[in-house]
Structure 1
Amino acid sequence: MPDDDLEAALAGSLAARREREVAAAGTFAGPHRDDLLIGAGPADLRREGSQGEQRTAALALLLAARDHLRERAARPILLLDDVLSELDPVRRRLLLEAVRDGGQTIVTTADPAAADALDQPPDALVRIEAGTVRG
C-alpha cells in the first residue's frame, strides 16, 4: 500500500475506534497488538532459533527501522541495552560496525572486552566501575 493510502487508512481506523478506546483507557489495535513471524528460511526463529539467532533477527529489524527513519528524517538515536551478551564475537563485531555511522548510538554491556572486537575504537567509551564513571 502506498504511504499516502496507508496514512489515510490508519487515520480512519483510529477515528472509528476513538470513543471506545478513550472510554477503555487503552488501544484495541496497532502494531503493538500484532503478532510478527520472524523466520530464517522455513524456520520460525521464535520456536526453532537459538537466543543468538533471535537476537540477531531482532537487531536486523531495528537497524532496518533506523535506516528507514534516516532516509525520511534526521539521524535517529539508537539505544541498545546489553545486546552483545548473546552474540558470538563475529556478530558482535558486525553489529558494532553497523551502528558506527548510522547516527547516534548508545550501546551498554556488562562485558568490559566488548569493544575489543572493533577494528577502530568507538567514538566514546565510558566505563562504570564500582559506581564510578571512568572515561
Structure 2
Amino acid sequence: MKNNTPSTAHLKGTRTETAHDGNAKVWLNGKQLNLQASLKYCSKSPTGFNWGYGGSGPAQLAHEVCRQLYGLETANLVFQDFKWRFLVTIEGDTFDLTLELEEFNVGHVMPLIETAEDTDLCETQNGPTGHGETCYFDADQGL
C-alpha cells in the first residue's frame, strides 16, 4: 500500500451528450485516464467514466483516480467514499478542479495504511455475483 499520500490532485474532465457510450475523457494531474486499463482492476462501468451522480460511471472514475493516487489495495477500500466526497457534486459536462485531499486522507486513507499489516486483502475482479466486486477478508476471521 502506498504511504506517500498526495495533499492535492488536479482533475479535469469533459464529456459529450453521449457520455454513456464511453465518451467522457478525464485527466488526473495532466495524464489522461484509460478506461480499458481501469477495467482490468475494477469493473463497475464498462461504458465509461462519469460524474455528477452516485452511479457506476462515477464509481469507475473514483476507483481509477484512487488507484493512481493511492495504489490498488487502498483504492479498493476507499473509492466509494471518494466518489461521494468529490465526484457526485460535479455539475456540467466539463470540469477543471484541484481536489484538496488532506481531510480525505486523514479520515479514510491513513487509517488503512496504519492497519495494512494486520489485514490481508483478497481482490477478485468478478466477485461473488460476477459484477466486478472486490472481496476482502481478515486473515484471522476468514471470509
Same fold (TM over 0.5): no
Q: Place the TM-score, normalised by the shorter chain, in its bin.
A: under 0.3
Output the TM-score relative to the length of structure 1.
0.23
Q: Which of these two proteins has the greater Rg computed from alpha carbons?
A: 1
Which has more helix, going by share of residues? 1
Output the TM-score relative to the length of structure 2.
0.22
